[in-house]
Amino acid sequence: MPSSTTRRQFVARSAGVSLAALLPQGVFSDSSVAQSVVVRPVSEIGTVRPEMHSHFAEHLGSCVYGGLWVGKGSRIPNVNGYRKAAVDYLKELGIPVLRWPGGCYADNYHWRDGIGPVEKRPKRVNANWNNAMEDGSFGLHEFIGLCRLIGAEPYLSVNVGSGTAQEALDWIEYCNFPKGTTLSDERIANGAPEPFQVQYWGVGNEAWGCGGNMTPDHYADVYRQFATYMKSFGGTRSFLVACGPSGNNTQWTKGFFDRMQGTRVSLGAFAMHYYENGSLAPTAYNADAMNRQLTTFQLVEQAIVAQRAQIDAYNRQPRVGLILDEWGVWDRLNGPEQQRYGQLWQQSTMRSAVAAGLGLNIFNRHAEKLFMCNIAQIANVLQSVLLTDGPQGEHCIRTTTYHAFALFKAHRSKMAVKVENAATGPLDLSVSASKSGVELIVSLVNPKADTDVRVECSLDGKTAKSASARILHHKDLNAANTFESPDTIVPVAHPVQAAGSSIRLDLPALSVATVAVQLG
Ligand code: AHR
């Protein structure tokens, strides 16, 4: 069966099923194609770990200061210094894991600078990011407090580039040792009687770049040294994450794992960074530039497959997890917004939502290969889910990326199942599915700027008793939620037809949709 037909052919074949009649007037253009996909509810891939929907917060621009944290005395509504609107929105979305304090900043940061009475904390220069003054007022206790408020597991990135193994070991002891040692008693004196129970520990960040400009051999030796001392305390197992490659750099992975052969030091996961770079300013894209950027996701998918295979070939036990520690669209950033709102502040548009959907679909389709994925970053930096109008600004809005993540939330903890989709081009309809009991969740992304898709999705012989859908869509790829108009693009209910062992829906150009199907 051809994977695509013209709209006229599809309508004729659909024998009287007029989906167009269900759609709001004017939503669908004449340049549409039909697309058949098959979801196989019994072909299991792996669990969609909620951790694949995780986030990252760095001391950079207005991500932390002025974004998540406004301080206790602020006129901006806050909960003990945390921006109230941000807390509310993040709680609603659900943040499985939050990585902190960097990024590049992590290899500059000495954790003791962020504990104890705020007025006594040293003032430092954030040398990675604009030489910003860092007063340490958002430190470890404030970070753990935020995680507790929003229900996130903390993930601490340890300073390897300019720190020591002793400093790393002390940080774990301070966090996780119950009581009775000088460090654990210091934590208690600082107001935290219970251990923080931090599981995730990143051993450096981008060791091949801002984290020390190391060779893979050298980093592996440093990793071995740090991992020897980064112990577990108080019943919380320290899960250690090594720096993986930039993109699909297999030489880095080979160099690291070759050098790790024969060692028994703990290695929980290996973390790749893969940004989807773009050539234009966030709200000034054209279709060509968007297509070039979105095409990168095909390379991300290849990287996940290649890195997973490369790691598995070393057969380390237990299996080393693959983490996509930083990902997201990184547009051309300059100009007044950086001055006004903070470094790497980036508007999230309909294009960004499509990008988020493409990424999240890939993670579902490779669920058995991935341990965690952290989009960069959670607020005001790159592809963030929240934007505020600068450090002093009262506005806090949910971006299109926030809403794309919300549409994928239903997949969390479900079993990803196989989808057969004959259209495999990087800009073709992208589909993923997951299942739990009789509930089947199907996510579809139409990344094309000007082609609507009429989808017939076969359920491989299973019957759809009912189906409902929500969609995020705007016909302008540069449209965005702004401070003046924060709900320009939000998910809305969308027509879908449960037709025996198929579901049918129309996806306008530039859309992200999730369908919940009750199987018979
Ligand atoms: O997310 C911004 C920066 O990108 C991070 O600090 C670094 O790890 C990466 O290069």
| Residue whose CB lies within 8 A of the most ligand 1 atoms, among 55, 56, 58, for a mutation test | 58
Q: If you take atom 6 of ligand 1, which residue's CA is the nearest one? A: 103
- pLDDT given at position 392: 81
What is each CA distance from 503 to 30, 371, 443, 459, 519, in whole angstroms? Answer: 22, 31, 12, 8, 11
Atom 8, ligand 1: residue with shortest CA distance: 103
Tokens encoding 179: 């009581």
Strand partners, 47: 415
- d(C-alpha 195, C-alpha 203), whole Å: 21
Distance 104 CA to ligand 1 centre (A): 6
Residue-level pLDDT, tens digit, the chain, 520 residues: 333 333 333 333 333 333 444 444 444 555 789 999 999 999 999 999 999 999 999 999 999 999 999 999 999 999 999 999 999 999 999 999 999 999 999 999 999 999 999 999 999 999 999 999 999 999 999 999 999 999 999 999 999 999 999 999 999 999 999 999 999 999 999 999 999 999 999 999 999 999 999 999 999 999 999 999 999 999 999 999 999 999 999 999 999 999 999 999 999 999 999 999 999 999 999 999 999 999 999 999 999 999 999 999 999 999 999 999 999 999 999 778 999 999 999 999 999 999 999 999 999 999 999 999 999 999 999 999 999 997 788 999 999 999 999 999 999 999 999 999 988 899 999 999 999 999 999 999 999 999 999 999 999 999 999 999 999 999 999 999 999 999 999 999 999 999 899 999 999 999 999 999 999 9
Cα-to-centroid distance, 103 and ligand 1 (Å): 5
Q: Is 205 in the pocket of ligand 1 (CB under 6 A)?
A: yes
Residue given tokens 């505020």 in the structure block: 388
pLDDT at 292: 98
Amino acid at 48: V
Query: What is the predicted pLDDT for the residue at 24?
Result: 42
pLDDT of residue 2: 33
61 lines ligand 1 (CB under 6 A): no
Long-range interactions of 15-21: CB distance < 8 A, separation 24+: 17/497, 17/499, 17/504, 19/454, 19/495, 19/497, 19/504, 19/505, 19/506, 20/506
Indicate the helix (H) or strand (E) that contains 200: strand 200-203
236: DSSP letter: B
Asked if residue 230 lies in contact with residue 173, where contact means CB atoms within 8 angstroms, the answer is no
Print burial letters for 122-135: b (CB count within 10 Å at least 16), e (below 16): eebebebbeebebe
DSSP summary character for residue 51: G
Among left, alpha and beta (phi > 0; psi -120 to 50; other), residue 109 is beta
Q: Whose Cα sits closest to atom 2 in ligand 1?
A: 103
344 CA: nearest ligand 1 atom: 2
Q: Select from 42, 43, 38, 44 the least CA-distant residue to 422.
A: 38
| Block residue for tokens 């051999």 | 217
Q: Is the CB of 374 under 6 A from ligand 1?
A: no
Give the global pTM.
0.94
Q: Please give the structure tokens belonging to residue 311.
A: 């790691």
Helices (H), 34-193: 84-93, 140-150, 165-176, 182-189
Name which of 428, 493, 433 is nearest 464 in CA terms.
433
Strands 415-421 and 32-47: antiparallel
C-beta of 103 in contact with ligand 1 (< 6 A): yes
Phi-psi domain of 221 (left: phi exceeds 0; alpha: psi -120 through 50; beta: other): alpha
CB atoms within 10 A of CB 179: 12
Query: If residue 373 lies in a helix (H) or strand (E), which one and from where to where?
Result: strand 372-376
Q: Cβ(456)–Cβ(504) under 8 Å?
A: yes
The tokens describing 132, both together, are 């910003």
Q: Under a CB-based contact definition with an 8 Å cutoff, are residues 436 and 414 in contact?
A: yes
176 phi, psi to nearest 5 deg: -110, -15
- Angstrom distances, CA of residue 496 to CA of 114, 346, 360, 501: 52, 34, 21, 13
Quick one: pLDDT at residue 399? Answer: 98
The DSSP string of 18-47 is: -GGGGSPTT-S-S-EEEEEEEEEEEEEEEE
Tokens representing residue 444 in the block: 């579809």
Check pocket membership of 325 for ligand 1, CB cut-off 6 A.
no
Q: Quick check: CB of 503 below 6 Å from ligand 1?
A: no
Which residues are identified as catalytic?
206, 326
